[in-house]
């Protein structure tokens, strides 16, 4: 069988300690028991003493050589064994990233508009009117005021209207307990103002005008005088409500109807002088407006 050269080299290295050990035993035996003798120049006694000393030194030398050869053999053997091994590579341990948990957004609450209602800058009728929601509309509830009587809403028709809505005419379709409480803007300084315009004539004898509140405080009463400039006939009226409305809130419009004239006013030039006030009985803050128009 053909053996590789490395096989015999390795086998020879393994035999070195054995051979040296055998030589050591032979040397000790010869030194102690065989008539091993070296010839020295001197007396017999001196020659014998020198021979024993030389044999002792020889034994020490062989012992040292045996020891070194054993260490060299062991070192070479260890080197060869490490040379044939693969040094394990320890992969770094990976720590997985923490899972990010998103806080769920509060559930959107909608409200159904049960009757035409105003939506304002603030949760009182003294604030500016922004929009009028009609019966059947739906809005998203964004927040509420401290006592929960008004919702802060946004329309669902894409008009991006956000305003305060009285909750009487907005029925929520979900839970409203978790709606945030919003602080409304400060109430404006009360300003009494309105405009009047001709609306129509009913039956030819009853003249009707519109009164629109352009101030920031509700109108609750009025007195008015209508005059037909053709016949010079005048009619006066006063009340604590405007048509069917008990008051005209900010931005809204009410109506005032004259008493029936004795003859048709159609085609006649008319004047109307209207005094509107913030309290019943023409009390509180009042303002007066006079308009001219043709009865049609």
Query: Tell me: the pLDDT tens digits for 83-98?
Result: 444 555 545 454 444 4
Give the Cα separation of 100 and 94 in Å (integer). Answer: 18
DSSP codes joined into one string, 59-113:
HHHHHHHHHHHHHHHHHHHHHHHHHTSPPPP-PPPPPPPPPPPPPPPPPPEEEEE
Across the range 197-201, mean pLDDT stands at 98
Residue 76 has what pLDDT? 46
Q: What's residue 14's pLDDT?
A: 57
136's torsion region: left (phi>0), alpha (psi -120 to 50) or beta?
A: left
pLDDT digits (tens, 9 = 90+) for 247-265: 998 889 999 999 999 999 9
CATH number for region 109-172: 2.30.30.40
CA separation for the pair 14, 20 (Å, rounded)? 11
Domain boundaries, the chain: 10-73, 109-172, 194-294
Model pLDDT for residues 112-152, shown as the tens digit of each residue: 999 999 999 999 888 888 899 999 999 999 999 999 999 99
pTM for this predicted structure: 0.51
Looking at residue 86, its pLDDT comes to 53
pLDDT of 77 higher than 50? no
For domain 194-294, the CATH superfamily is Immunoglobulins (2.60.40.10)
What pLDDT does 281 receive?
95
């Amino acid at each position: 069988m053909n053996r590789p050269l490395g096989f015999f080299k390795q086998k020879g290295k393994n035999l070195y300690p054995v051979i040296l050990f055998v030589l050591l035993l032979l040397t000790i035996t010869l030194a102690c028991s065989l008539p091993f003798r070296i010839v020295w120049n001197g007396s017999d006694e001196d020659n014998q003493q020198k021979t024993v000393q030389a044999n002792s030194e020889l034994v020490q030398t062989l012992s040292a050589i045996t020891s070194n050869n054993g260490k060299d053999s062991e070192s070479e053997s260890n080197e060869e064994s490490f040379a044939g091994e693969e040094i394990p590579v320890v992969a770094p341990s990976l720590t997985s990233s923490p899972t990010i948990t998103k806080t769920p957004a509060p559930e959107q609450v909608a409200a159904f508009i049960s009757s035409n209602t105003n939506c304002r800058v603030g949760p009182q009728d003294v604030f500016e009117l922004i929009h009028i929601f009609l019966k059947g509309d739906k809005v998203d509830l964004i927040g509420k005021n401290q006592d929960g009587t008004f919702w802060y809403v946004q329309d669902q028709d894409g008009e991006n209207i956000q305003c305060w809505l009285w909750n009487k005419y907005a029925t929520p379709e979900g839970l409203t307990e978790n709606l945030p409480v919003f602080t409304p803007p400060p109430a404006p300084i009360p300003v009494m103002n309105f405009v009047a315009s001709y609306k129509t004539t009913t039956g030819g004898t009853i003249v009707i005008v519109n009164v629109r509140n352009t101030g920031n405080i509700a109108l609750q009463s009025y007195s008015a005088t209508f005059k037909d400039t053709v016949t010079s006939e005048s009619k006066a009226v006063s009340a604590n409500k405007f048509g069917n409305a008990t008051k005209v809130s900010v931005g809204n419009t009410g109506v005032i109807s004259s008493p029936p004239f004795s003859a048709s006013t159609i085609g006649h030039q008319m004047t109307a002088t209207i005094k509107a006030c913030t309290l019943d009985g023409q009390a509180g803050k009042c303002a007066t407006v006079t308009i001219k128009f043709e009865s049609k």
